[in-house]
Structure 1
Amino acid sequence: MIDYSLKGPVSQERARIRLMSALRENRFPQAILIDGPTGIGKKALAMEIAKALQCTDPAGRPCGHCFGCRMAAESGATENWIIPLEAAEARAKKAEDATARSTAKTIEDIKQDYIKEIIKNPYRVDIFSAAAFISVELMRTMTSSFAMRGDRVRTVIIAEADRMNEAASNAFLKTLEDVPPDTYFILTTSSREKMLQTIRSRCLALHLLPLTDDEVQKEAARVADEDFDRTMLTDDVVGMAVGSPGKALYYAPLCEQWNPLAVDFIRKSLLQDYTDLFFALKEASLEDPYVANRFLEVMSFLVADLLRELGGAPLRMPTTTASIGLKNFPRIDATALELALVDIQETMSRIESRRATTTMSLQTLALKLFEGYK
């Protein structure tokens, strides 16, 4: 029997044991859906699975050095990945259609750049823009390449599978109904509820757990760029990440700006000091919906921490939360904080759906926050 060993954090060992058992017993499903919070390592596990499936070592898999393993972790093997692209990127020419004199990037070049970033840091949460999606053309290109597979095992990682548009979802569903032999699809998502139920039902569901705070700090420091200041991975940053090394790395350089701004947002909303608050929001450059919602995540963590403070529970962001000075606002109780969390979530949904500009949404939230308790 071939031995399989998938690497990863201890917190996710149960999921890996389940996969290794299926690999050893030769009953691995042809489609698997890995879901869990953003930035916890779903793509890292997907690449480990791809290496294990494509590895040709007769004893231990993945070996990490055979042709199959190298192909699974090689950015040039763009046919092994389906990733979200912005509309302009998705319209780029294929390499086979580009002229010799063309200097524009082909769609393979664009995909390769993204895949390089994923391989370098699979926890990263801001690789794809909010407008990126998986088009039906990407699905058709994938299925047309099956004929060139030969007799080798083929794995396809579909990153952020919830971003498939309707046409892409329907095309992929047809592929799932008749998967070619020795072909395996590994889907990752942080929003499985956005996917077609018929696709979800045809995949083995695997839920990944967030990491411990110690694991977050260790993994974030391991994959960070050489010039990244690892002292920025403070207890507040790690607490804010809630088990996600990707979020820890994303929030760390922004904490000096965002944490004080989030504290100001809450305090100035309570004090009804809107003029200064609106000016501070403008200076913070939160026009991008993705960035604005990450800031609101910080806000929601702070409000949730205030709830913990009221209940006497340990704080996730002790230094930042203490700076709000909740005791100076005696009218704020658990109900007020719970309503504030609802208001923040509704604002995030409004921003994500682009029903209003981020500036208008944030200003409306400031006026509404703690309404009736000020």
Structure 2
Amino acid sequence: MVETEMIEYRLNGPSSQNRQRIRLMAALRENRFPQAILIDGPVGIGKKALAMEIAKALQCSAGESRPCGHCFGCKMAADAGNTDGWVVPMESKESSARSASDVSAGSTAKTIQDYKQAYIEEIVKNPYRIDVFSAAAGITVDLIRNMTAGFALKGDRVRTIIVAEADRMNDSAANAFLKTLEEVPPDTYFILTTSSRERLLQTIRSRCLALHLLPLTDDEVREIAVEYAHDDYDESAVTDDVVGLSVGSPGKAMYYAQHASAWLDLSARFVNLSLSGDYTDLFFDLEDAGIEDAAVANRFLEVVSFLLADMARGMAGAPLRIADTTAKVDTSRYPQIDANAVDLALVDVQETMSRIASRRTSPRVCIQALAVKLFEGAK
């Protein structure tokens, strides 16, 4: 990457993450940008959005200000069809599909590039989304080998590769990727994103510049969630409780804007009916809500957990994050429900989420058992 001191860089993003972007822009300007960086932070706060900004800046060929957004390098970085620029988690049937070069002419069979492009298109459309990949998707050694196979085709241009949700690499993939990091090809840059950096090999982490992104302000969350509303949800769905529930994550706010209007009400009913012992009505409510998938079930229980935590905050006199929903929980009839009882209930919810994640028991059975157990000693 040949640079001059006259080139300035500008990476766009929320004000709350200015400090991290300034650090990156200085490295770009001074021609000391590392060949591998690891961007970590909570889900849905814009790690992939920043990764794409970095990729454009590295590949841009403009003479004075980068990224320009118009040159070939910028367009390649933003093109979902440039599948060589990404490594993304995929389900086993997708990652084992044939490569485009192995498919006969006229075949309608989906290739690995087809599956990959579909994922990239969703990310480019909305880099804050938290539900692009299924829980079963992962990064296999074949995907890493597919990445390295393209190294011979680079030519003389700068190449960037975004490894989305890098913590989903299995052991074989991680070891194969580590070998690549030990001897990175010239003018090649890896940008890894993760919300669980501790799940990555320490040897991979040690070879990357670490960059931690902070949660955004409530105003930034609301602005971004409204910007990406499109046809997925109405802007009015981004309520104060939805923003509070997101804890600084626009991706979570978007997800809950689509689901939380129902889930927030259901979580309040879950606690109220559990306290009163009206399990039949509660079980019918859960069935009507269609909470069957393990990932969806745990998203709902995150809302229940947040509600319980808000109840504890209220008992301690602290500001509430989801005030409207918390107000719907009537504990006045249950004076025995104190902060200790709420803490125990939170432990029960977390244990249930772990059981659901293990997939040994159906989510509905787990949630029904939780409803009976919740506040068991204080009812």
Fold agreement, TM-score > 0.5? yes
* Secondary structure in structure 2 of the residue aligned to 1:372: helix
Corresponding position: 1:170 with 2:182: no
* Secondary structure in structure 2 of the residue aligned to 1:228: coil
* Separation in structure 1 between the aligned mates of residue 173 and residue 339 of structure 2, nearest angstrom: 44
Instruction: State the TM-score, normalizing by the size of structure 1.
Output: 0.97
Q: Unmatched 5+ residue regions in structure 1?
A: none
Q: Which residue of the partner structure matches residue 136 of structure 1?
A: 141
* Separation in structure 1 between the aligned mates of residue 154 and residue 211 of structure 2, nearest angstrom: 27
* Separation in structure 1 between the aligned mates of residue 32 and residue 77 of structure 2, nearest angstrom: 20
> Could you tell me how far 1:348 is from its partner in structure 2?
1.6
Q: Which residue of the partner structure matches residue 245 of structure 2?
A: 240
Instruction: State the TM-score, normalizing by the size of structure 2.
Output: 0.96
Q: How many residues of Structure 1 are paired with residues of Structure 2 in the alignment?
A: 374
* Secondary structure in structure 1 of the residue aligned to 2:376: coil
Q: Residue by residue, what CA displacement relative to the aligned partner does 1:219-277 show, whole Å, maximum 9, x if unpaired?
A: 11112224631111111111111111111111112223211211111112212222222
* Secondary structure in structure 2 of the residue aligned to 1:184: strand
Amino acid in structure 1 at the alignment position of 2:281 = D
Q: Which residue of the partner structure matches residue 92 of structure 2?
A: 87
| Pairs within 5 Å for 1:1-374 | 1=5, 2-226=7-231, 228-374=233-379
Moved over 6 A (4+): none
Amino acid in structure 1 at the alignment position of 2:131 = D
- Give the 3 Å change call, closer, same or farther, for CA 255–3 of structure 1 in structure 2: same
> Could you tell me how far 1:279 is from its partner in structure 2?
2.2
* Separation in structure 1 between the aligned mates of residue 179 and residue 373 of structure 2, nearest angstrom: 47
> Could you tell me how far 1:371 is from its partner in structure 2?
2.4
Q: Is the 8 A contact 1:121 1:224 kept in 2?
A: no
> Could you tell me how far 1:327 is from its partner in structure 2?
3.0
- What's the % identity of the aligned pairs? 66
Q: Residue by residue, what CA displacement relative to the aligned partner does 1:33-87 show, whole Å, maximum 9, x if unpaired?
A: 1111111100000000101111111211111111111111100100000001111
Q: Is the 8 A contact 2:233 2:257 kept in 1?
A: no
Q: Is the 8 A contact 1:210 1:244 kept in 2?
A: yes
* Separation in structure 2 between the aligned mates of residue 276 and residue 325 of structure 1, nearest angstrom: 17
Q: Residue by residue, what CA displacement relative to the aligned partner does 1:284-316 show, whole Å, maximum 9, x if unpaired?
A: 111111111110111111011101111111111
Amino acid in structure 2 at the alignment position of 1:96 = S
RMSD: 1.2
Q: Residue by residue, what CA displacement relative to the aligned partner does 1:92-115 show, whole Å, maximum 9, x if unpaired?
A: 211111122321221111111111
* Separation in structure 2 between the aligned mates of residue 223 and residue 77 of structure 1, nearest angstrom: 23
Q: Is the 8 A contact 1:46 1:157 kept in 2?
A: yes
Q: Is the 8 A contact 1:153 1:182 kept in 2?
A: yes
Q: Is the 8 A contact 2:135 2:295 kept in 1?
A: yes
Q: Unmatched 5+ residue regions in structure 2?
A: none
Amino acid in structure 2 at the alignment position of 1:244 = S
Q: Is the 8 A contact 2:305 2:349 kept in 1?
A: yes
> Could you tell me how far 1:195 is from its partner in structure 2?
1.4
> Could you tell me how far 1:88 is from its partner in structure 2?
1.2
> Could you tell me how far 1:334 is from its partner in structure 2?
1.3
* Secondary structure in structure 1 of the residue aligned to 2:282: helix
Q: Is the 8 A contact 1:306 1:337 kept in 2?
A: yes
Amino acid in structure 1 at the alignment position of 2:171 = E
Q: Is the 8 A contact 1:306 1:326 kept in 2?
A: no
Q: Is the 8 A contact 2:237 2:261 kept in 1?
A: no
